[in-house]
Structure 1
Protein backbone atom coordinates (compact mmCIF):
# COMPACT_ATOMS: atom_id res chain seq x y z
CA UNK A 1 0.00 0.00 0.00
CA UNK A 2 1.04 3.62 -0.56
CA UNK A 3 -0.75 5.03 2.47
CA UNK A 4 2.26 6.41 4.34
CA UNK A 5 3.94 7.79 1.22
CA UNK A 6 0.72 9.34 -0.06
CA UNK A 7 -0.19 10.92 3.26
CA UNK A 8 3.15 12.71 3.51
CA UNK A 9 3.01 13.73 -0.16
CA UNK A 10 -0.52 15.12 0.12
CA UNK A 11 0.25 17.00 3.34
CA UNK A 12 3.37 18.66 1.95
CA UNK A 13 1.69 19.43 -1.37
CA UNK A 14 -1.10 21.22 0.52
CA UNK A 15 0.90 24.44 1.04
CA UNK A 16 3.46 22.40 3.01
CA UNK A 17 0.95 21.81 5.79
CA UNK A 18 2.42 20.73 9.14
CA UNK A 19 1.59 17.44 10.82
CA UNK A 20 -0.01 19.38 13.66
CA UNK A 21 -2.31 21.33 11.33
CA UNK A 22 -3.35 18.16 9.52
CA UNK A 23 -3.97 16.39 12.84
CA UNK A 24 -6.24 19.22 13.97
CA UNK A 25 -8.17 19.06 10.68
CA UNK A 26 -8.64 15.30 10.98
CA UNK A 27 -9.43 15.28 14.70
CA UNK A 28 -6.45 13.08 15.63
CA UNK A 29 -3.10 13.63 17.36
CA UNK A 30 0.09 14.86 15.71
CA UNK A 31 1.88 11.71 16.86
CA UNK A 32 -0.75 9.63 15.05
CA UNK A 33 -0.08 11.51 11.80
CA UNK A 34 3.65 10.99 12.30
CA UNK A 35 3.24 7.25 12.87
CA UNK A 36 1.04 6.92 9.76
CA UNK A 37 3.58 8.74 7.59
CA UNK A 38 6.47 6.66 8.95
CA UNK A 39 4.57 3.42 8.43
CA UNK A 40 4.73 2.55 12.11
CA UNK A 41 0.96 2.35 12.40
CA UNK A 42 -2.11 2.21 10.17
CA UNK A 43 -5.21 4.33 10.74
CA UNK A 44 -8.60 2.78 11.30
CA UNK A 45 -10.98 2.71 8.35
CA UNK A 46 -12.96 5.68 9.62
CA UNK A 47 -9.76 7.75 9.75
CA UNK A 48 -8.71 6.57 6.29
CA UNK A 49 -12.06 7.75 4.94
CA UNK A 50 -11.60 11.07 6.72
CA UNK A 51 -8.14 11.49 5.12
CA UNK A 52 -9.45 10.66 1.64
CA UNK A 53 -12.35 13.11 1.98
CA UNK A 54 -10.09 15.83 3.33
CA UNK A 55 -7.78 15.63 0.31
CA UNK A 56 -10.68 15.04 -2.13
CA UNK A 57 -9.46 11.67 -3.38
CA UNK A 58 -10.91 8.17 -3.29
CA UNK A 59 -9.96 5.66 -0.62
CA UNK A 60 -8.59 3.41 -3.36
CA UNK A 61 -6.28 6.20 -4.57
CA UNK A 62 -5.05 6.83 -1.04
CA UNK A 63 -4.16 3.17 -0.50
CA UNK A 64 -3.25 1.74 -3.89
CA UNK A 65 -1.95 4.53 -6.16
CA UNK A 66 1.41 6.27 -5.95
CA UNK A 67 0.02 9.80 -6.15
CA UNK A 68 3.48 11.38 -6.33
CA UNK A 69 3.86 9.93 -9.83
CA UNK A 70 0.55 11.21 -11.15
CA UNK A 71 -0.38 14.60 -12.53
CA UNK A 72 -3.11 16.51 -10.72
CA UNK A 73 -5.45 16.27 -13.72
CA UNK A 74 -4.93 12.49 -13.86
CA UNK A 75 -5.76 12.16 -10.16
CA UNK A 76 -8.93 14.20 -10.65
CA UNK A 77 -9.96 12.21 -13.72
CA UNK A 78 -9.40 8.88 -11.99
CA UNK A 79 -11.34 10.11 -8.96
CA UNK A 80 -14.34 11.08 -11.08
CA UNK A 81 -14.23 7.82 -13.06
CA UNK A 82 -14.13 5.79 -9.82
CA UNK A 83 -17.12 7.71 -8.47
CA UNK A 84 -19.00 7.23 -11.74
CA UNK A 85 -18.25 3.50 -11.86
CA UNK A 86 -19.39 2.96 -8.28
CA UNK A 87 -22.58 4.99 -8.90
CA UNK A 88 -21.48 7.54 -6.29
CA UNK A 89 -23.00 10.08 -8.65
CA UNK A 90 -26.37 8.45 -9.22
CA UNK A 91 -27.11 7.08 -12.67
CA UNK A 92 -30.85 7.11 -13.22
CA UNK A 93 -32.23 4.00 -14.91
CA UNK A 94 -35.48 4.46 -16.83
CA UNK A 95 -37.86 1.48 -16.73
CA UNK A 96 -41.41 0.61 -17.77
CA UNK A 97 -44.06 -1.25 -15.75
CA UNK A 98 -47.21 -3.23 -16.55
CA UNK A 99 -50.74 -2.54 -15.30
CA UNK A 100 -49.95 -4.26 -11.98
CA UNK A 101 -46.87 -2.04 -11.55
CA UNK A 102 -44.47 -4.93 -12.20
CA UNK A 103 -41.25 -4.05 -14.00
CA UNK A 104 -41.20 -5.11 -17.64
CA UNK A 105 -38.30 -6.76 -19.38
CA UNK A 106 -37.83 -4.52 -22.41
CA UNK A 107 -36.42 -6.15 -25.52
CA UNK A 108 -33.96 -4.21 -27.68
CA UNK A 109 -34.18 -5.96 -31.08
CA UNK A 110 -31.47 -5.62 -33.70
CA UNK A 111 -33.35 -2.90 -35.60
CA UNK A 112 -33.57 -0.76 -32.43
CA UNK A 113 -29.92 -1.11 -31.38
CA UNK A 114 -28.71 2.00 -33.19
CA UNK A 115 -31.09 4.27 -31.28
CA UNK A 116 -30.55 2.72 -27.86
CA UNK A 117 -27.39 4.67 -26.95
CA UNK A 118 -29.33 7.92 -27.20
CA UNK A 119 -32.78 6.66 -26.18
CA UNK A 120 -31.87 4.36 -23.27
CA UNK A 121 -33.04 6.95 -20.72
CA UNK A 122 -35.96 8.28 -22.77
CA UNK A 123 -39.35 6.98 -21.51
CA UNK A 124 -40.87 7.51 -24.97
CA UNK A 125 -38.17 5.40 -26.64
CA UNK A 126 -38.54 2.58 -24.09
CA UNK A 127 -42.33 2.64 -24.34
CA UNK A 128 -42.06 1.65 -28.00
CA UNK A 129 -39.88 -1.40 -27.31
CA UNK A 130 -41.43 -4.90 -26.99
CA UNK A 131 -42.06 -5.75 -23.33
CA UNK A 132 -42.35 -9.05 -21.53
CA UNK A 133 -42.86 -10.61 -18.13
CA UNK A 134 -40.43 -13.50 -17.57
CA UNK A 135 -41.43 -15.39 -14.40
CA UNK A 136 -38.38 -17.68 -14.48
CA UNK A 137 -36.07 -14.76 -13.58
CA UNK A 138 -35.32 -14.06 -9.89
CA UNK A 139 -37.56 -11.35 -8.50
CA UNK A 140 -36.50 -7.95 -7.16
CA UNK A 141 -34.02 -7.15 -9.92
CA UNK A 142 -34.15 -5.13 -13.13
CA UNK A 143 -33.65 -6.91 -16.43
CA UNK A 144 -33.40 -5.97 -20.10
CA UNK A 145 -33.10 -8.19 -23.17
CA UNK A 146 -30.87 -7.55 -26.18
CA UNK A 147 -30.70 -9.31 -29.54
CA UNK A 148 -27.04 -9.94 -30.27
CA UNK A 149 -25.36 -9.88 -33.66
CA UNK A 150 -22.18 -11.44 -35.01
CA UNK A 151 -20.25 -14.49 -33.85
CA UNK A 152 -17.83 -12.93 -31.35
CA UNK A 153 -19.38 -14.73 -28.37
CA UNK A 154 -19.60 -18.33 -29.55
CA UNK A 155 -21.25 -20.68 -28.82
CA UNK A 156 -24.05 -18.07 -28.70
CA UNK A 157 -25.22 -17.57 -32.26
CA UNK A 158 -26.34 -14.38 -34.06
CA UNK A 159 -29.92 -13.31 -33.26
CA UNK A 160 -29.78 -14.93 -29.83
CA UNK A 161 -31.65 -12.88 -27.23
CA UNK A 162 -29.53 -12.28 -24.14
CA UNK A 163 -31.18 -11.19 -20.89
CA UNK A 164 -29.10 -9.03 -18.59
CA UNK A 165 -29.45 -7.93 -14.98
CA UNK A 166 -28.74 -4.24 -14.40
CA UNK A 167 -25.44 -3.54 -12.64
CA UNK A 168 -25.39 -0.41 -10.49
CA UNK A 169 -21.86 -0.60 -9.09
CA UNK A 170 -19.45 -1.67 -11.82
CA UNK A 171 -16.63 -2.26 -9.33
CA UNK A 172 -18.59 -5.29 -8.07
CA UNK A 173 -18.12 -7.13 -11.37
CA UNK A 174 -15.90 -10.20 -11.31
CA UNK A 175 -13.16 -10.36 -13.94
CA UNK A 176 -14.29 -12.52 -16.85
CA UNK A 177 -17.99 -11.99 -16.18
CA UNK A 178 -20.09 -11.95 -19.36
CA UNK A 179 -22.00 -8.69 -19.69
CA UNK A 180 -23.87 -6.53 -22.15
CA UNK A 181 -21.94 -3.26 -22.26
CA UNK A 182 -23.63 -0.16 -23.67
CA UNK A 183 -21.23 2.66 -24.54
CA UNK A 184 -21.26 5.89 -26.50
CA UNK A 185 -18.88 4.79 -29.26
CA UNK A 186 -19.13 0.99 -29.32
CA UNK A 187 -22.92 0.76 -28.99
CA UNK A 188 -24.21 -2.53 -27.57
CA UNK A 189 -21.74 -5.40 -27.22
CA UNK A 190 -21.77 -8.73 -25.39
CA UNK A 191 -18.31 -9.42 -23.95
CA UNK A 192 -16.36 -10.80 -21.05
CA UNK A 193 -15.51 -7.81 -18.87
CA UNK A 194 -12.26 -7.22 -16.98
CA UNK A 195 -12.18 -4.30 -14.57
CA UNK A 196 -9.25 -1.92 -15.20
CA UNK A 197 -10.92 1.14 -13.71
CA UNK A 198 -8.56 1.46 -10.74
CA UNK A 199 -5.40 1.15 -12.83
CA UNK A 200 -6.27 2.76 -16.17
CA UNK A 201 -9.86 4.02 -15.89
CA UNK A 202 -10.91 1.48 -18.53
CA UNK A 203 -12.75 -1.78 -19.03
CA UNK A 204 -11.08 -4.58 -20.96
CA UNK A 205 -13.54 -6.42 -23.22
CA UNK A 206 -12.87 -9.91 -24.56
CA UNK A 207 -14.73 -12.17 -26.97
CA UNK A 208 -15.00 -15.94 -26.64
CA UNK A 209 -14.23 -16.26 -30.35
CA UNK A 210 -10.42 -16.09 -30.56
CA UNK A 211 -10.63 -14.45 -33.99
CA UNK A 212 -11.60 -11.21 -32.24
CA UNK A 213 -8.95 -9.22 -30.39
CA UNK A 214 -9.65 -7.91 -26.88
CA UNK A 215 -9.83 -4.14 -26.52
CA UNK A 216 -10.20 -1.49 -23.86
CA UNK A 217 -12.79 1.27 -23.62
CA UNK A 218 -12.70 4.30 -21.30
CA UNK A 219 -15.03 3.83 -18.35
CA UNK A 220 -16.48 7.31 -18.79
CA UNK A 221 -17.81 6.26 -22.21
CA UNK A 222 -19.86 3.43 -20.71
CA UNK A 223 -23.56 4.14 -20.30
CA UNK A 224 -24.90 0.86 -18.89
CA UNK A 225 -23.72 -2.62 -17.93
CA UNK A 226 -26.09 -5.61 -17.78
CA UNK A 227 -24.79 -8.85 -16.23
CA UNK A 228 -25.63 -12.00 -18.22
CA UNK A 229 -28.61 -13.81 -16.69
CA UNK A 230 -30.12 -16.00 -19.41
CA UNK A 231 -30.53 -16.36 -23.14
CA UNK A 232 -33.25 -17.37 -25.57
CA UNK A 233 -32.34 -18.95 -28.90
CA UNK A 234 -34.10 -20.72 -31.75
CA UNK A 235 -31.06 -22.97 -32.12
CA UNK A 236 -29.25 -25.09 -29.56
CA UNK A 237 -25.57 -24.05 -29.29
CA UNK A 238 -23.17 -26.96 -29.64
CA UNK A 239 -20.61 -27.50 -26.89
CA UNK A 240 -17.23 -28.16 -28.46
CA UNK A 241 -14.84 -29.19 -25.71
CA UNK A 242 -11.69 -28.72 -27.76
CA UNK A 243 -12.79 -25.17 -28.59
CA UNK A 244 -13.31 -24.30 -24.92
CA UNK A 245 -9.97 -25.79 -23.93
CA UNK A 246 -8.31 -23.65 -26.62
CA UNK A 247 -10.23 -20.60 -25.42
CA UNK A 248 -9.05 -21.13 -21.83
CA UNK A 249 -5.45 -21.53 -22.96
CA UNK A 250 -5.71 -18.37 -25.05
CA UNK A 251 -7.16 -16.45 -22.10
CA UNK A 252 -4.28 -17.52 -19.89
CA UNK A 253 -1.79 -16.39 -22.55
CA UNK A 254 -3.52 -13.02 -22.87
CA UNK A 255 -3.39 -12.49 -19.12
CA UNK A 256 0.33 -13.29 -19.05
CA UNK A 257 1.03 -10.87 -21.90
CA UNK A 258 -1.03 -8.16 -20.18
CA UNK A 259 0.84 -8.65 -16.90
CA UNK A 260 4.16 -8.49 -18.77
CA UNK A 261 3.17 -5.21 -20.45
CA UNK A 262 2.10 -3.71 -17.12
CA UNK A 263 5.34 -4.82 -15.46
CA UNK A 264 7.42 -3.37 -18.31
CA UNK A 265 5.61 0.00 -18.13
CA UNK A 266 6.06 0.12 -14.35
CA UNK A 267 9.82 -0.35 -14.69
CA UNK A 268 10.14 2.20 -17.52
Structure 2
Protein backbone atom coordinates (compact mmCIF):
# COMPACT_ATOMS: atom_id res chain seq x y z
CA UNK A 1 0.00 0.00 0.00
CA UNK A 2 1.42 3.41 -1.02
CA UNK A 3 1.60 6.51 1.18
CA UNK A 4 -1.15 8.03 -0.96
CA UNK A 5 -3.52 5.10 -0.45
CA UNK A 6 -2.80 5.05 3.29
CA UNK A 7 -3.52 8.77 3.51
CA UNK A 8 -6.76 8.41 1.55
CA UNK A 9 -7.92 5.63 3.84
CA UNK A 10 -6.90 7.60 6.96
CA UNK A 11 -8.63 10.84 5.89
CA UNK A 12 -11.84 9.08 4.91
CA UNK A 13 -11.92 7.24 8.25
CA UNK A 14 -11.14 10.39 10.22
CA UNK A 15 -14.13 12.14 8.64
CA UNK A 16 -16.30 9.02 9.00
CA UNK A 17 -17.10 8.89 5.28
CA UNK A 18 -18.09 5.89 3.18
CA UNK A 19 -16.19 4.93 0.03
CA UNK A 20 -19.39 5.53 -1.93
CA UNK A 21 -19.75 9.10 -0.65
CA UNK A 22 -16.16 10.00 -1.60
CA UNK A 23 -16.51 8.24 -4.97
CA UNK A 24 -19.69 10.22 -5.70
CA UNK A 25 -17.87 13.49 -4.98
CA UNK A 26 -15.05 12.45 -7.34
CA UNK A 27 -17.60 11.40 -10.01
CA UNK A 28 -16.22 7.85 -10.21
CA UNK A 29 -17.52 4.41 -9.23
CA UNK A 30 -16.99 3.02 -5.75
CA UNK A 31 -15.05 0.10 -7.21
CA UNK A 32 -12.61 2.45 -8.95
CA UNK A 33 -12.14 4.46 -5.79
CA UNK A 34 -11.55 1.29 -3.74
CA UNK A 35 -8.64 0.37 -6.05
CA UNK A 36 -7.00 3.75 -5.31
CA UNK A 37 -7.47 3.30 -1.59
CA UNK A 38 -6.16 -0.29 -1.67
CA UNK A 39 -3.10 0.78 -3.65
CA UNK A 40 -3.98 -1.45 -6.61
CA UNK A 41 -3.87 1.53 -9.01
CA UNK A 42 -2.81 5.18 -8.79
CA UNK A 43 -5.33 7.95 -9.52
CA UNK A 44 -4.68 10.17 -12.57
CA UNK A 45 -3.79 13.81 -12.03
CA UNK A 46 -7.33 15.15 -12.45
CA UNK A 47 -8.64 12.77 -9.76
CA UNK A 48 -5.67 13.52 -7.50
CA UNK A 49 -6.49 17.23 -7.72
CA UNK A 50 -10.09 16.51 -6.72
CA UNK A 51 -8.94 14.40 -3.77
CA UNK A 52 -6.62 17.20 -2.64
CA UNK A 53 -9.39 19.81 -2.78
CA UNK A 54 -11.93 17.49 -1.15
CA UNK A 55 -9.79 16.88 1.93
CA UNK A 56 -8.14 20.34 1.83
CA UNK A 57 -4.69 18.70 1.97
CA UNK A 58 -1.87 19.54 -0.43
CA UNK A 59 -0.89 17.03 -3.12
CA UNK A 60 2.70 17.14 -1.87
CA UNK A 61 1.52 16.10 1.58
CA UNK A 62 -0.74 13.35 0.23
CA UNK A 63 2.10 11.80 -1.75
CA UNK A 64 5.05 12.17 0.62
CA UNK A 65 4.05 12.14 4.29
CA UNK A 66 2.13 9.71 6.45
CA UNK A 67 -0.26 12.35 7.79
CA UNK A 68 -1.67 10.03 10.44
CA UNK A 69 1.50 10.91 12.41
CA UNK A 70 0.38 14.53 12.76
CA UNK A 71 -2.64 16.37 14.02
CA UNK A 72 -4.31 18.20 11.13
CA UNK A 73 -4.95 21.08 13.53
CA UNK A 74 -1.19 21.45 14.10
CA UNK A 75 -0.18 21.91 10.46
CA UNK A 76 0.74 25.20 8.81
CA UNK A 77 -0.10 25.20 5.11
CA UNK A 78 2.49 26.55 2.66
CA UNK A 79 1.68 28.37 -0.59
CA UNK A 80 1.92 26.89 -4.08
CA UNK A 81 0.52 23.57 -2.92
CA UNK A 82 3.80 22.69 -1.23
CA UNK A 83 4.36 20.58 1.85
CA UNK A 84 2.98 21.74 5.19
CA UNK A 85 4.90 22.48 8.37
CA UNK A 86 4.02 20.34 11.40
CA UNK A 87 3.95 22.25 14.68
CA UNK A 88 5.48 19.81 17.14
CA UNK A 89 5.29 20.14 20.92
CA UNK A 90 7.32 18.67 23.77
CA UNK A 91 5.99 16.67 26.73
CA UNK A 92 5.09 19.93 28.53
CA UNK A 93 3.10 21.27 25.59
CA UNK A 94 5.70 23.84 24.45
CA UNK A 95 6.30 24.29 20.72
CA UNK A 96 9.48 22.60 19.49
CA UNK A 97 11.72 24.91 17.46
CA UNK A 98 13.99 23.28 14.87
CA UNK A 99 17.57 24.56 14.82
CA UNK A 100 19.30 24.92 11.46
CA UNK A 101 23.02 24.06 12.02
CA UNK A 102 25.56 26.81 11.40
CA UNK A 103 27.72 24.71 9.06
CA UNK A 104 24.74 23.27 7.19
CA UNK A 105 22.82 26.49 6.59
CA UNK A 106 23.14 26.31 2.80
CA UNK A 107 21.89 22.73 2.87
CA UNK A 108 18.60 24.01 4.24
CA UNK A 109 17.67 25.19 0.75
CA UNK A 110 17.67 21.57 -0.38
CA UNK A 111 16.03 20.15 2.71
CA UNK A 112 13.47 22.74 3.84
CA UNK A 113 10.58 20.81 2.24
CA UNK A 114 11.91 17.34 3.11
CA UNK A 115 10.11 16.02 6.22
CA UNK A 116 12.92 13.57 7.02
CA UNK A 117 15.50 16.39 6.96
CA UNK A 118 13.37 18.58 9.23
CA UNK A 119 12.61 15.75 11.65
CA UNK A 120 16.34 15.05 11.96
CA UNK A 121 17.14 18.56 13.21
CA UNK A 122 17.83 19.32 16.88
CA UNK A 123 15.07 21.25 18.63
CA UNK A 124 14.61 23.61 21.56
CA UNK A 125 11.54 24.95 23.36
CA UNK A 126 11.00 28.57 24.35
CA UNK A 127 7.82 28.78 26.45
CA UNK A 128 7.36 32.50 25.76
CA UNK A 129 6.92 31.88 22.01
CA UNK A 130 3.36 30.84 21.26
CA UNK A 131 0.85 30.96 18.43
CA UNK A 132 2.73 30.01 15.28
CA UNK A 133 5.47 27.94 13.70
CA UNK A 134 9.01 28.93 14.77
CA UNK A 135 12.46 27.93 13.50
CA UNK A 136 16.01 29.05 14.47
CA UNK A 137 18.46 30.19 11.77
CA UNK A 138 22.18 31.01 12.10
CA UNK A 139 23.26 34.62 11.58
CA UNK A 140 26.19 35.06 9.22
CA UNK A 141 28.35 38.05 8.30
CA UNK A 142 28.29 41.63 9.53
CA UNK A 143 25.28 43.00 7.67
CA UNK A 144 22.91 43.04 10.65
CA UNK A 145 24.64 44.39 13.77
CA UNK A 146 24.66 43.68 16.67
CA UNK A 147 24.18 40.02 15.68
CA UNK A 148 27.50 38.20 15.39
CA UNK A 149 28.38 34.91 13.74
CA UNK A 150 27.14 32.24 16.11
CA UNK A 151 23.90 34.08 16.90
CA UNK A 152 20.65 32.33 16.08
CA UNK A 153 17.63 34.27 14.85
CA UNK A 154 14.37 32.60 15.83
CA UNK A 155 11.72 33.38 13.24
CA UNK A 156 7.96 32.91 13.04
CA UNK A 157 6.72 31.53 9.73
CA UNK A 158 5.04 34.13 7.50
CA UNK A 159 2.16 32.61 5.56
CA UNK A 160 1.42 35.55 3.25
CA UNK A 161 3.52 38.34 1.69
CA UNK A 162 0.84 40.83 2.68
CA UNK A 163 1.80 40.19 6.33
CA UNK A 164 5.24 41.78 5.83
CA UNK A 165 5.64 45.06 7.71
CA UNK A 166 7.97 47.89 6.71
CA UNK A 167 11.22 48.14 8.70
CA UNK A 168 10.70 44.85 10.52
CA UNK A 169 13.35 42.17 10.17
CA UNK A 170 12.87 38.77 8.55
CA UNK A 171 14.80 35.66 7.62
CA UNK A 172 14.43 35.17 3.87
CA UNK A 173 15.00 31.76 2.27
CA UNK A 174 15.80 32.34 -1.41
CA UNK A 175 17.16 30.31 -4.31
CA UNK A 176 20.31 32.41 -4.77
CA UNK A 177 21.19 33.55 -1.24
CA UNK A 178 19.96 30.61 0.83
CA UNK A 179 19.39 32.04 4.32
CA UNK A 180 19.61 35.82 4.71
CA UNK A 181 18.47 38.07 7.54
CA UNK A 182 17.36 41.53 6.37
CA UNK A 183 14.95 44.39 7.03
CA UNK A 184 11.90 44.57 4.76
CA UNK A 185 11.30 47.87 2.93
CA UNK A 186 8.50 47.66 0.36
CA UNK A 187 6.75 45.59 -2.31
CA UNK A 188 7.02 45.82 -6.07
CA UNK A 189 4.97 43.91 -8.62
CA UNK A 190 7.61 41.23 -9.10
CA UNK A 191 9.70 41.49 -5.96
CA UNK A 192 10.38 42.98 -2.54
CA UNK A 193 13.09 45.38 -1.42
CA UNK A 194 15.18 44.67 1.68
CA UNK A 195 18.19 46.28 3.34
CA UNK A 196 20.88 45.50 5.87
CA UNK A 197 21.26 47.50 9.08
CA UNK A 198 24.94 47.93 8.26
CA UNK A 199 24.95 51.04 6.03
CA UNK A 200 27.97 49.65 4.14
CA UNK A 201 25.55 47.42 2.21
CA UNK A 202 23.12 48.79 -0.37
CA UNK A 203 19.41 47.86 -0.35
CA UNK A 204 18.48 45.26 -2.94
CA UNK A 205 15.51 43.59 -4.56
CA UNK A 206 14.52 39.93 -4.09
CA UNK A 207 12.45 38.61 -7.03
CA UNK A 208 9.27 36.91 -5.82
CA UNK A 209 10.09 33.83 -7.91
CA UNK A 210 13.26 33.26 -5.84
CA UNK A 211 11.55 33.34 -2.42
CA UNK A 212 10.89 29.98 -0.80
CA UNK A 213 10.12 30.93 2.82
CA UNK A 214 9.96 34.02 5.04
CA UNK A 215 10.28 34.01 8.85
CA UNK A 216 9.59 37.09 10.98
CA UNK A 217 12.04 37.91 13.78
CA UNK A 218 10.74 36.59 17.10
CA UNK A 219 13.89 36.60 19.26
CA UNK A 220 17.63 35.99 19.07
CA UNK A 221 19.97 33.59 20.87
CA UNK A 222 23.59 34.70 21.21
CA UNK A 223 26.29 32.05 21.59
CA UNK A 224 29.32 34.39 21.69
CA UNK A 225 30.06 37.30 23.99
CA UNK A 226 31.47 40.63 22.86
CA UNK A 227 35.11 41.51 23.44
CA UNK A 228 35.74 44.82 25.33
CA UNK A 229 37.23 46.55 22.28
CA UNK A 230 34.11 45.83 20.25
CA UNK A 231 32.15 48.36 22.28
CA UNK A 232 33.40 51.41 20.46
CA UNK A 233 31.19 54.49 20.41
CA UNK A 234 29.97 53.54 16.94
CA UNK A 235 29.09 50.00 17.97
CA UNK A 236 27.27 51.23 21.05
CA UNK A 237 25.21 53.62 18.94
CA UNK A 238 24.28 50.81 16.54
CA UNK A 239 23.45 48.57 19.49
CA UNK A 240 21.17 51.21 21.04
CA UNK A 241 19.49 51.85 17.69
CA UNK A 242 18.78 48.13 17.34
CA UNK A 243 17.30 47.97 20.84
CA UNK A 244 15.05 50.94 20.06
CA UNK A 245 13.89 49.19 16.88
CA UNK A 246 13.14 45.98 18.79
CA UNK A 247 11.18 47.93 21.42
CA UNK A 248 9.19 49.65 18.66
CA UNK A 249 8.39 46.28 17.06
CA UNK A 250 7.24 44.85 20.38
CA UNK A 251 4.96 47.86 20.96
CA UNK A 252 3.54 47.49 17.43
CA UNK A 253 2.87 43.78 18.02
CA UNK A 254 1.10 44.58 21.30
CA UNK A 255 -0.90 47.24 19.50
CA UNK A 256 -1.87 44.79 16.75
CA UNK A 257 -3.18 42.33 19.37
CA UNK A 258 -5.18 45.03 21.08
State the shift of 1:97 in Å: 2.4
Asked if the contact 1:95/1:123 (under 8 Å) is kept, the reply is no
Q: How many aligned positions are there?
A: 157
Gap runs ≥5 in structure 2: 1-77, 242-258
d(CA) in 2 for partners of 1:131, 1:168: 22
Whether 2:217 is the aligned partner of 1:228: answer yes
- Kindly indicate whether residue 201 of structure 2 is the aligned counterpart of residue 201 of structure 1: no
Q: Which segment is superposed worse, 103-112 or 158-167?
A: 103-112
Structure 1, residues 105-132: CA drift from partner, whole Å, max 9, x if none? 0000211211111110101111221111
Q: Does 1:177 find its partner at 2:173?
A: no
Rounded Cα–Cα distance in structure 1 between residues aligned with 2:220 and 2:94: 21
Out of 91, 111, 114, the residue aligned to residue 122 of structure 1 is 114
Q: Which position in structure 1 is the counterpart of 2:98?
A: 106
Whether the 8 Å contact between 2:89 and 2:95 is mirrored in structure 1 is yes
Larger helix proportion of the pair: 1
Change (3 A) 1:243 1:183: same
Superposition pairs of residues 7-156 of structure 1, within 5 angstroms: 89-95=80-86, 97-98=88-89, 100=91, 103-137=95-129, 139-156=130-147
- Counterpart CA distance in 1 for 2:159 and 2:239 is 33
In structure 2, the partner of 1:217 is 206
Q: TM-score, normalised by structure 1?
A: 0.53
- Quote the Cα distance in structure 2 between the aligned partners of 1:147 and 1:88: 24
Gaps of 5+ in 1: 1-86, 246-268
Separation in structure 2 between the aligned mates of residue 88 and residue 133 of structure 1, nearest angstrom: 26
Q: Is the 8 A contact 2:170 2:214 kept in 1?
A: yes
Checking the alignment, whether the CA contact within 8 Å between 1:94 and 1:120 is kept in structure 2 is no
TM-score (norm 2): 0.55
- Report the secondary structure of 1:126's partner residue: helix
Q: Considering only aligned residues, what root-mean-square deviation do their CA atoms show, in Å?
A: 2.6
